[in-house]
Amino acid sequence: MKLRLLAAFLLSSLTAFAQSPMIYPQLALGKTERDPLSRIYLTPKRIVWKSNDSLVLKPELLLEQGNSQAYFELRNVCKIINKGNSRTGLVLDFGKEFHGGIQITTSQSNRVTRKVRVRFGESVSETMSDVIGDGTTGKEGGATNHHAMRDFEVTLPGYGTLQVGNSGFRFVRIDLLERDAFLALKEIRGVATLRDIPYLGSFKSNDTLLNRIWETGAYTVHLNMQDYLWDGIKRDRMVWAGDMHPEIMTISNVFGYNEVVPKSLDFVRDHTPLPNWMNGISAYSMWWVIMQHDWYQYHGKLDYLREQKAYLIPLLDLFLTKVDQQGHEKLDGPGMRFLDWPSSENKPGVHAGLQALMVMTFEKGARLADILGEKEKAETYRTMLTKMKSYLPDPNGSKQAASLLSLANVMPAVKANQDVIAVGGATNFSTFYGYYMLEAQAKASDYQTAINNIRQYWGGMLKLGATTFWEDFDMNEAKNAAPIDNIVPSGKTDYHRNTGAYCYIGLRRSLCHGWASGPTPWLTKYVLGIEVLEPGCKKIRIEPHLGDLEWVEGTFPTPAGVVYVKHIKTGANKIRTTIRAPKEIKIIK
């Protein structure tokens, strides 16, 4: 009997062990976590710069594909030579911005360790910055090690491999530091870390520039889907609630559901006990409510929404206390009154934007309260939003504020567009709120102007060598700017080093910022014409607005599967449409 019980116990233990997700039980000394990120190895595309042609020998060998394995025998290698106190180095271009680091593999020719300085750069200029500034004053162009180390010294093995770096970059500079020495390099590989996920959404048209813009926005957000949904892969490697909204819209249109979104929404919630504001900004707590609504609309996960109820309803109740008898927002007190940095000095514009954002919050909050069975709360929120909509504040020329007023149905969409948003084309657009400016122009049925603005503004970054979209972009500052992928010639503006304001000063500025991805979801929604009408994409409207395009096709991810759409102009005001969708989805045309 005892033997049978023992055998049964052992069998159950072995079965449990076999079913356990822990592959290596010897590592289970404490709590463990699996890395959701994958590594991809990249080969440099070109040599951008060498400090001395005669002291950097055979650098072209670094452009050959490597394997990170050192050899015992002497190899044909790239040599970097210092004579006396000289410091010799070179800059490599990996061809595209990515997140991660590099592997440096040395040759047996070294025999001894060598000290080198490594400088990562989102631009060539950033790799050439000699002094680390404080990141706010603009000293030395604002180069900084804030958030991610981009400038540091390491010791390389005599012949072996060292992996270094955890930042966002496209370029890397390596300088040998020791006197009268040489460094024999077998290879340098980029090590990209990112989520290995398929691009379920797509967008193609006869305009290759718009196609590149859609793809660049998608890739920018993909890079920021790290352990959490970050703002930037160099700076800010943080979870900023408001900044996440354009990223969440991009994820929903490109990748579909991904756990990094609820993980990040929960992170900022759990680190913001009420009555505090998320990230110290009242608008960001409002964006959190809006994101909960939009995430549910796309993915229909009711269980997750129910988990938010204990925080969501008290937060909406807190906003009720921030409105006066006339229906004006009163978000004074602790916390920052903020839309985005370019609009921050326009106090009347900020007030108008906050008023509109609060209307949007109560409107979407009421819908969520209904879904969660809080009918009385929902009516209270609707009463408040009706009261607030009776007051139209002056946007004071702010395209940010006018866009929100239009989207909140406080200001007529056509008036907001004609009087403010469309003035000057894409002048005074911002990378963050540019998404809402495009949304407002679509609401005013000014689709062609919005398409032109996308080409001009986001296309302007691509023209300067961007492979990801930037934290900030000013078209006036860019008029005489050189591309970021080479040494800046005399007479040209070094855009990354010498422009910017607020927190965007110089090289501190992020050139991979997810909040700048707005054209990606916008092109899918309005040009491809896919609008979600019911939670979980159970009902979708297909209504394209091609503007001057001849054709467009693409895909859109839903919980039931991928929807395919193609539109071809066949004549004046005539479009032939092809749709393939899962049977669970109702299509409205």
The band of 170, judged by pLDDT with boundaries at 50, 70 and 90, is very high
**Which percentage of the chain shows pLDDT scores above 90?**
86
Q: Are 524 and 252 in contact (CB under 8 A)?
A: no
φ, ψ for residue 99, nearest 5 deg? -105, 135
Q: What pLDDT is recorded for position 134?
A: 52
Reported as a single tens digit per residue, the pLDDT across 244-253 is 999 999 999 9
Average pLDDT over residues 501-517: 93
- Selection from 511, 488, 513, 503 nearest residue 125 by Cα: 488
Cα–Cα distance between 39 and 120 in angstroms, integer?
18
| Per-residue burial over 534-567, b = 16 or more CB atoms within 10 Å of its CB, e = otherwise | ebbbeebebebbbbebebbebbbbbbebbbebbb
| 379 CB-near residues (< 8 Å, 6+ apart) | 366
Pairing of strands 46-50, 89-106: antiparallel
- pLDDT band per the 50, 70, 90 thresholds, residue 4: low
| Of 1-10, 132-141, 142-151, highest mean pLDDT | 142-151
Overall average pLDDT of the 397-420 stretch: 98
In the numeric block, which tokens belong to residue 11? 């069998």
Question: How high does pLDDT run on average in the chain?
Answer: 93
Domain ranges of the chain: 39-194, 272-411
Q: Could you tell me which residues are beta bridge partners of residue 49?
A: 91
Q: Is pLDDT of 29 > 90?
A: no
pLDDT at 400 over 50: yes
DSSP symbol at 567: E
pLDDT at 367 over 90: yes
Q: Which of 105, 116, 259, 72 is nearest to 191 (CA)?
A: 105
> 7 pLDDT exceeds 50?
no
Type and span of the H or E element at 205: strand 202-205
Amino acid 24: pLDDT: 57
Q: How confident is the model at residue 74 (pLDDT cuts 50, 70, 90)?
A: low
Strands 151-156, 114-121: pairing is antiparallel
How much is the pLDDT for 154? 97
CATH of 39-194, one of 3.40.50.2000, 3.40.50.300, 2.60.120.260, 2.102.10.10: 2.60.120.260
Q: What is the DSSP letter of 506?
A: G
Say if residue 176's pLDDT is above 90: yes
Long-range contacts of the stretch 273-280 (C-beta < 8 A, 24+): 274/311, 274/314, 274/315, 274/318, 275/318, 276/334, 276/335, 277/334, 277/335, 277/336, 278/241, 278/242, 279/240, 279/241, 279/242, 280/334, 280/335, 280/336
* Dihedral of alpha carbons 410, 515, 334, 276, sign: positive
The pLDDT value recorded for residue 132 is: 63
Peptide bond before 236: cis, by omega within 30 degrees of 0? Answer: yes
**Hey, how many other C-beta atoms are within 10 angstroms of the C-beta on 325?**
6
Greatest CA separation for the chain: 92
354-378 average pLDDT score = 98
pLDDT of residue 30: 66
Does 7 or 158 have the greater pLDDT score? 158
Yes or no: say if 332 and 569 are a contact pair by the CB < 8 Å rule.
no
DSSP per residue, 117-155 = EEEEESSHHHHT--S---SSS-GGGG---SSS--EEEEE
Residue 565: both structure tokens together? 């759409």
Q: 237 vs 5, which has greater pLDDT?
A: 237
* Reported confidence tier of residue 139, pLDDT bands at 50, 70, 90: low
What's 271-337 look like in SS3?
CCCCCCCHHHEHHHHHHHHHHHHHHHHHHCCHHHHHHCHHHHHHHHHHHHCCECCCCCECCCCCCEC
The residues, any chain, with a CB within 8 Å of residue 423's CB and separated by 6 or more, are none
131 by Cβ neighbours in 10 Å (0-12 / 13-18 / 19+) ranks as: exposed
pLDDT at residue 17 tops 50 = no
| pLDDT value of position 108 | 78
Closest among 138, 44, 49 to 88, alpha carbons compared: 49
**Is the confidence at residue 76, as pLDDT, over 80?**
yes
Reported confidence tier of residue 18, pLDDT bands at 50, 70, 90: very low
Residue 13 has pLDDT above 70, yes or no: no
Please write the tens of the pLDDT for every residue from 145-160. Answer: 888 999 999 999 988 9
With cut-offs at 50, 70 and 90, classify the pLDDT of residue 11: very low
